[in-house]
Chains A and B, each alone.
Chain A
Amino acid sequence: MEKIKITLNINDKPYDVRVFPNDTLLEVLRDELDLTGSKESCGEGVCGSCTVHMDGNPVRSCLTLAMEATGTKIKTVEGLATEDDLSDLQQSFIDHGAVQCGFCTPGMLMSADALLNKNSKPDEKTVRKALAGNICRCTGYAKIVEAVAHTGNPQDHCPDCKTGGKTKE
């Protein structure tokens, strides 16, 4: 098998990379481009840890061939923050305590980001449905769901909506 040169557009930057036809997008992101934010947990498209956006839609990068990604716009967890500013969703994850071990977090963020791009004020049920393809073993999802639902919609009853990352009463 020969490697083929392709160009991938990732987080608005072009990357020239040589890949085998059977290389997955996840392998190329992690092994060739050092974008290790996307994780492999199940390797069979079940857990969602490898979720990235392809033209705005969440896809499993462990089931997507790198070659399929040519000509599309790929966004990974590394593309959520601008310079040193976190996105509102990332900040909300921090403030609501939605991160524990952090291994599922990148995939969870990408699924949530895709939802919020289509529906900026999702109700709890919609959030749970949108995240049903992302497995988290630590949190029980409660704080993740809160973090997503409250992004851009701070709730008066929520003690964590206004912390801004600081210690508070």
Chain B
Amino acid sequence: MSDYTSDYTIVGKRMPRVDSRAKVMGKAKFTADLKLPGMLVGKIKRSPYAHARILNIDTSKAEALPGVKAIVTGKETKGVKWGVFAYTRDQQFIQIEKVRYIGDEVAGVAAVDEDTALKALDLIEVTYEELPPVFDPMEAMVSETELIHEDFPNNINVHVNIDTGNVDENFEKAYYIREDTYVAPEESYFQAEPYAVAARFDHEDCLEVWCPNGGPHMKSKPLSNAFKLPLHKVKVKKIAIGGAFGGRSEICPVDYICALLAKKTKRPVRIQFTREENTIATRQGHAMITTHKTGVDKDGRVLARETTCYMDGGAYSSTGPIATSVPFLSMEQAYRMESVRYNGYRIYTNKPIRGMIRTHGRGFACGLDTQLDMIADHLGIDPVEMRLRNSRQPGEYTSTKSYVDSCAMDETIHKAVEKSGFKEKWGKLPPYHGIGIGTNSVQTGFPMGIRGGSQSFIKFNEDGEATVMSGVVDNGQGNDNMLVQIAAEELGLLPEDIHLVSADTETTSSDPGSYSQVSTFVGGHAVKIAAQNCREKLFEVASKLLKVEPDKLAAKNRLIFVKDDPGSKRCKASKSIPIKKVVRISLLNFNSVNAEGGYWPKVDMKREWVKNPYGQMCEAFSFGTTIVEVKVDPDTGQVEVLEATAAQDVGYGINPLVLEGQFEGALTMGGQGGMLTEYHEWKDGRCINPTMLDYKLPLACDMPKINTIIVESIDPKGPYGAKEAGMSIAMSAAQGYSAAVSNAIGVYMDSFPLTPDKILAAIKGKKAQAEKKTSKNNAVN
């Protein structure tokens, strides 16, 4: 059971973040701000073809250019392939035989300055034999041209099949069945910080690397494999990170190339991506074609569902098995689906690589919710009631056999409905005004084998302050502050007494990384346990000094005092002692005050994305509801968002100030951007809107009033009851936005995002249909 109490001093409070002072002063160092003595500039030669065989690479002219210090090609990598999973090792760090997308890495250059490095790239002569490319995933499966990867027939990279049984039987029992197809193109992360990496080998031949990452240990292991160095010789260092959103989780070929250049030149090298490189040569969100078939009873309860999704995976596997599964898993967590069949296909195409993203499968989720609204419409049920009749309840199992412990899905729906005035507005808004609801659920973690747990070390310094070590990384979401809050709470210190050492592979233990939504649940938990263990040591010493049993003691505000002693709460009673004094007395007695603690979630280790997608996925799930109210201009198709309300069951709100910021940012990315403006356009495999000028990101002036509602279900396993926060909003916001626009124009949309051209076409189509009906009626009359 949870050890939750409402008597916390530091957690649960609005606390400005510990990292913000350095950031407002311009002092926080990001990778591109690093200057290492003798540092060279690295640049990448990329493929101009979507699919081509490499016949020859001639680097002689480039090497002769003054100022060029090293050039590396695939020859130096010996063709070693890398992949997140053993069965997805399909990507060479530098291509040797062929290139598979426009932007694929062919060579790397290190030079004294950027101009020289760029000139050298032009002087590298690559002879290619063009191969027929394939850009459409449906075509790729039947194409008879050369496979993108020879060992993946039909260009099918990943096939996830989930079948809980009784699907066909239950469709037969259904009162009403619908089958609809929904499409959405690719979207991108557009982290504020363009990707950058700096690398050098130190005096002991250890590789030091700085780069944005979703988990430093996820970077160090593949680098240690590639360079055949023991793990302790690969030091991924802490650095400020300008956003990740799921896109910086795995090793990036340039991490390796940069390190290889550093090795060859024996000097530090830094590679900084342009905005265009950040878009095309890191990761993108998958384009998807999703067909949902849903059968319900008379009351709208889902009896059976069959979903087939085709995902455009681009040129390599990346985190493909995860990305092929999460859109489905999120929905099976949000809604009851006892009888369901899912077939997810991730297909190789000659386009940039797709990976995990904060809004996993907007077309998938919005399609499923749109269809629920259509069914509700047909049955005369309102969308809120439709969701309440199908929503996940605590104590249930998901269709893939994960037990759901804490779950306040219904409370998020009720609270969002009340705050937004949904019931008063539904069906009563003026023409072209609309309101819509979306609900979603996100897993707090995945089974990750030996990397599933996190461990923390804490040491007290003689001045009574503490150093906390944790492998958790902060991509900008506030993880550092979360760790500090937890440590301060448990140790009885103030946040400013905690010195955090984190996200550094040399000094911190392995951690699952922030991309799987477990930083608080697993990493924060580890810090909590380490701090509790450390506090126990303090209490042992203090109990002798205060002459009470250790279990009678509490720590707060830098003091250890006797619980339930009314005087001690004012910190003046004789029965209290400063923590600093306890530490010093302990040291005088030849005992240092330090401790460790770890947390490993009890998940089903046999669960595997493709081979066995059943069993306990993670220990907790978050649930979110977003309601959006919009006004559509019928002449321009422009959408004005009037108000948005986001409610999420986060388990426990460790810092409401940070959570509100997560909700607001998630709603902006998933809803405002994800459903109204953000998508990539292509010409012959080339992304034609890779920059911020062409790819439309939401601006301050676009945003509506956002209401945020933190719902607490106090998860029995989470630290203080906390679980994932923010991602359920990003996903439900996409659904809420799409439902609101559909409601405003009276057309259920099936192609996302909902750009003005699509909205105008839908309005026009609806009008034409109405006219046809009128003229038909007139003819009859």
Residues of chain A at the chain B interface (Cβ within 8 Å): 30, 34-44, 46-47, 49, 76-78, 80-81, 86, 90, 93-95, 97, 99-106, 109, 127-129, 131-132, 134-145, 159-160, 163, 165-169
Contact = CB atoms under 8 A, between A and B. Distances in A.
B208 to A, nearest CB: 19
Contacts of B10: 167
A127 B666 CA distance: 21
B693 A44 contact: yes
B444 to A, nearest CB: 20
A142 B699 CA distance: 11
Contacts of B191: 101, 103, 137
Given A46-B692, A167-B13, A102 B700 contact: no
**Top 4 A-B pairs ranked by shortest CB distance?**
A37-B26, A101-B476, A102-B23, A103-B242
Interface in B636-675: 657-658, 660-661, 664-669, 672
Contacts of B476: 100-103, 138
Given A90-B24, A102-B476, A43 B275 contact: yes
B192 A135 contact: yes
B29 A36 contact: yes
A115 to B, nearest CB: 12
18 contacts: A44-B275, A44-B693, A47-B192, A49-B192, A78-B25, A78-B26, A94-B21, A99-B23, A102-B28, A131-B699, A135-B697, A135-B699, A137-B665, A137-B697, A138-B665, A140-B706, A145-B700, A169-B13
A37 B27 contact: yes
B478 interface: yes
B233 interface: no
A99 B29 contact: no
A80 B697 CA distance: 28
B190 A38 contact: no
A168 B15 CA distance: 7
Contact of A160 (B20, B33, B657): B657
Q: Which has the most chain B C-beta neighbours within 10 Å: A34, A90, A138, A163?
A: A138
A140 B192 contact: no
Contact of B21 (A34, A43, A47, A86): A86
B25 A90 contact: yes
B19 A102 contact: yes
User: Which bracket fits the contact residues of B?
Assistant: 35 or more
Contacts of A139: 661, 664-665, 668
Nearest to A27: B114
B664 to A, nearest CB: 3
A141 B194 CA distance: 20
Interface centre among B25, B192, B242, B477 (most CB of A within 10 A): B192
A95 B692 contact: no
Interface string B27-62: 111101101000000000000000000000000000
Contacts of B477: 100, 138
Given A103-B30, A132-B699, A144-B700, A44 B20 contact: no
Contact of B661 (A35, A97, A169): A97
Interface in B465-480: 475-478
Given A34-B35, A94-B16, A141 B703 contact: yes
B632 interface: no
B701 interface: yes
B33 A36 contact: yes
A145 B667 CA distance: 16
A3 B707 CA distance: 54
Nearest to A86: B24
Contacts of A34: 35
B323 interface: no
A138 B242 CA distance: 9
A60 to B, nearest CB: 12
Given A43-B275, A78-B25, A97-B17, 6 more contacts: A42-B693, A80-B24, A93-B20, A109-B24, A138-B477, A138-B665
A100 B28 CA distance: 12
